[in-house]
Amino acid sequence: MRSALFGDSTNGITEYTSSSFGGAMQGDLLIASFDNTIKRIKLSADGTQVVLESNLFSSVGLKPLDVTSPNTGPFPGSVWVADIALGKIVVFEPTTAGGGNPNDFDGDGYSNADETANGTDPNSAADVPPDWDQDFTSNLLDPNDDNDLLPDTSDPFAIDAANGSTTPIGTLYDWKNSGQNLGGIFGWALPA
């Protein structure tokens, strides 16, 4: 029997019961995970085995805690995610519209190449790469993540356009001592 295992805390779970997308996701499980994703699990017809495991959404917020998807009411087929770190609800609405751009299939503003390099789905506008400054160039490919005058390679405050001058005294950025990205800050991985 094939099952699904996750390395990060997975908390909220819901069954997608909407007939959106021609019913292709009907009966699938959606799971909120602390790795900043909503996972999609498709089970076998008898419900005893996992036949598909994928990230439906990535870069959801910071720490998705719960997920739900109403089948009726004003927002049928939408996916609602509670993010405990942001204290916000993030809503994804189904759409049939694509980007119409051969370099951006899903019309989310990120190039297909950028999404492929980040492991996000270039055919899903809800699956976008991490982008600190939200300029539609992912952190992976953006040479200046905070849009100041310094490139990231020489900027000691690579995600702070004010370069620390507006950071309140007493601000502490913890060094990760356990889990993934040991020794990292803000989820950055250490160079190999």
Per-domain boundaries in the chain: 10-94
Quote the tokens at residue 58.
Answer: 């990535």
pLDDT in tens, 10-51: 889 999 988 877 778 889 999 999 888 899 999 888 888 888
* Percent of the chain whose pLDDT exceeds 70: 83
pLDDT tens-digit series, residues 139-161: 999 999 999 989 999 998 888 88
Composition of the chain by helix, strand, coil, percent to 5: 5, 25, 70
Q: How many CB atoms sit inside 10 A of residue 63's CB?
A: 18
Q: Average pLDDT, stretch 62-66?
A: 89
Q: What is the pTM of this model?
A: 0.55
Fold held by 10-94:
Thrombin, subunit H (2.40.10)
DSSP 132: T
Residue 191: its pLDDT value, please? 53
Give the residue among 184, 181, 157 at the shortest CA–CA distance from 171: 157
